[in-house]
Structures are given as structure tokens and as C-alpha cells.
Amino acid sequence: MKMRRTLLVLSSLTFGMMMAACKSCVDQHNPRPDQAKFKQEETFAKAERTLTPEGTIPAPVAVAEATGPAAPGQAKFEQFCSACHGLDGKANGPGAAGLNPKPRNFTDVAWQNKTDDARIYKVLKEGGASVGLSSSMAAWGGVLSDAEIYDLIKWVRHFKGK
Ligand code: HEC
């Protein structure tokens, strides 16, 4: 009987000591903070890629960039502008068919180069007629905030040369 109790005390003591040691060792070597980095490196290592022209491995693309939210301006563009200017900016939206003059094709590099942001801002805010263009290009000042207009300008710009 006495023997049994001593055994019980001893084993629970040992167990307690093991648990304590285990906790302090996990604290010291906690793998969790490295997990995200490890995942990123793993994704990078497994990704298919072509070497740069210099023959080096291209830098890893930030995870957020690959799967992140849509660029600012894109959603509004698709909502309000793509019917005429096209989802790809090439002015081939269904609304463009009956228009004369045709909507601007934003992939046009020459147009992009000669147009400054101030003009695009004015067209968006006050409409095509405000700069002598077709009035089918409506004024959006009542619908879009300035911040939304600036985001749209960025999205219009990103089509250049695409
Ligand atoms: C109803 C069709 C239609 C919609 C919708 C439309 N546009 Fe246009 N847009 C036009 C037409 C047509 C022109 C060309 C006018 C011209 O060349 O006389 C034009 C021209 C433009 C230009 C060119 C100005 C320049 O300097 O040549 C910009 C920038 C533009 N639109 C941006 C937008 C944005 C951004 C939206 C969404 C908020 C939008 N448009 C919505 C028809 C449309």
C-alpha cells in the first residue's frame, strides 16, 4: 500500500516535471512565427518560373500581390466605364458599338503619352464636352468622389500598351 502511494507520488512528480520542461522548451523553440515565412518559401520553391534574361532566379512575388485585393479603381471602372471602354480598356464594350466617335482606347500608347492626368480628371469630372470631346462621355462628378476619380485615372493608365 505504502509502496503504491510512493509510486503514485513519484510518477505524478515526474509527469509534472516533464510538462514543465516541455513548456519551456516550446517557448524557446516556438516554430509558429516561422511558419508563415516557411509557407512563403515553400510556395516560392514550388512555383514554376522562368529565369531572368541574366540567368538568375527572379525575386519572389509578395504573396499579397498575387492573391491580394483588386487594384483601386478597377471595381468602379468595371461598374461604370467598361460598358463602353471595355474590360480590357480597348473600347470594345457593348455600349461602344453605336457610338460615334468611338470611346477612347486606353491601350493606345500614343494617346497615353500625350495625355496628362489633369485632362483625364477634367473629362471624368465634367464630361467629354468640357474638353471638346463627344458628350457621350458623360460627366461623372456627381457620382464619383475625387478619390475615386484618382483611382480611376490609375486604372485607365495601367492599360497603356496592354
Ligand atoms: C456611354 C459610353 C461611355 C461610358 C460609360 C464612359 N465613357 Fe469615357 N468616353 C466615351 C467616349 C465616346 C469617349 C470619346 C469621346 C471623343 O473622342 O470625342 C470617351 C473618352 C474618354 C476618355 C478620353 C479623354 C481623352 O482625352 O481622349 C477618358 C479618359 C474616359 N473616357 C474615361 C472614362 C471613364 C473612367 C469612365 C467611367 C467612369 C468612362 N469613360 C465611361 C464613352 C464612354
- The answer to whether the bond into 101 is cis (omega within 30° of 0) is yes
- Interval between CA 137 and ligand 1 midpoint (Å): 5
CA atoms of 144 and 127, how far apart (whole Å): 12
Dump pLDDT digits (tens) for 102-157.
999 999 999 999 999 999 999 999 999 999 999 999 999 999 999 999 999 999 99
Q: Which of 47-56, 72-81, 104-113 has the lowest mean pLDDT?
A: 47-56
Predicted pLDDT of residue 94:
86
Q: Can you give the pLDDT at residue 159?
A: 94
Say how far apart CA 16 and CA 22 lie, in whole Å.
10
What does the mean pLDDT of the chain come to? 83
Task: Provide the sign of the torsion angle of the four alpha carbons 123, 126, 132, 133, taken in this order.
Answer: positive
Of the pLDDT bands very low, low, confident and very high (cuts 50, 70, 90), residue 63 is very low
Distance (Å) from CA 56 to ligand 1 centroid: 43
The set of protein residues with a Cβ atom below 6 angstroms from ligand 1 is 80-81, 83-85, 95, 99, 101, 103-104, 115, 119-120, 123-124, 128, 133-134, 136-137, 140, 152, 156
Rounded to the nearest angstrom, the gap between the alpha carbon of residue 33 and the centroid of all alpha carbons in its chain is 24
